[in-house]
Amino acid sequence: MSAKAIPNWEISGYVEYIKSGHKQGDMLLIVPEGAFAVRLGNEALIKQKIEVVKGDFYSLTFSTARTCAQEERLNVSVSPNNEKNDFGLFPIQTMYSSNGWDSYAWAFQADAHVIEISIHNPGVEEDAACGPLIDSVALKTLYNPKRTRANLLKNGNFEEGPYIFPRPTSEGVIIPPHIEDDHSPLPGWIIESLKAIKYIDSEHFSVPKGKRAIELIAGKESAVA
């Protein structure tokens, strides 16, 4: 495809436009939202420029699925960026959802009024047909929660957090550990463990109070602080 083949996006490297129901070997590729997704081959990249408020914090949510048994990763970054080596590297070897698609969140602070968000497959696989699929991508402003007289913890009820896609089969959003993301998509909290957690909503899960909660999907190996 040409660099401008997908409206509003710029692509480079081997990028495939995949229709839901596409068959790859014995695997049937199903797109969870809409009819199309993109597959990022070796060193492939998609990026988009967006106007934002300089100094504000944002979270990026995206849905991805793996297509091969080989280890696959995604590198998410924003430019310009005043912080050196500030990017998210997401290993997608482990899948957490029942339909093979997981949503991930990554956060950053905008260092300019116009930024460029990139999603890149840094892998070099022998099979050119391999490479993660990307479907929905969403950007949300993160607001700094305030303490209240009733609760001295910031964001104690987890109501402020990354965007959750509203589709009927949504199984929450994976938030990576602090070592993979300096700016937490969960304001007021950091993922202290080496394992990720899941951000969930009351539309798809039982939440006793409010609309949001977190799930410690790694059990005793999950920790927030």
Rounded Cα distance, 146 and 37, in Å: 38
In a domain, 4, yes or no: no
Report which DSSP code applies to 94.
S
In a domain, 49, yes or no: yes
In a domain, 5, yes or no: no
Number of residues assigned to the chain: 225
In a domain, 3, yes or no: no
Q: What is the pLDDT of residues 152-203, one digit of tens each?
A: 898 989 999 999 988 756 789 999 887 555 688 999 998 888 888 999 998 8
Mean pLDDT over all residues of the chain? 85
Beta strand ranges found along 30-113 (DSSP E): 36-40, 45-51, 57-65, 73-79, 88-91, 102-109
What are the C-alpha distances in Å from 10 to residues 47, 87, 140, 151, 192? 5, 19, 21, 45, 35
Within 10 A of 114 (CB to CB), how many other CB atoms are there?
Answer: 11
pTM, whole model, 2 decimals?
A: 0.89
pLDDT at 94 over 90: no
In a domain, 50, yes or no: yes
Predicted local distance difference test score (pLDDT) of residue 183: 82
Predicted local distance difference test score (pLDDT) of residue 181: 57
Domain that holds residue 154: 10-221
In a domain, 1, yes or no: no
How is residue 177 written in tokens?
A: 């550990």
In this prediction, residues 25-33 reach a mean pLDDT of: 69
In a domain, 109, yes or no: yes
Domains held by the chain: number: 1
Rounded Cα distance, 104 and 61, in Å: 6
- Which comes out higher in pLDDT, residue 59 or 218? 59
Rounded Cα distance, 39 and 133, in Å: 4
Predicted local distance difference test score (pLDDT) of residue 164: 92
pLDDT at 18 over 90: no
For position 154, which CATH number holds?
A: 2.60.120.260
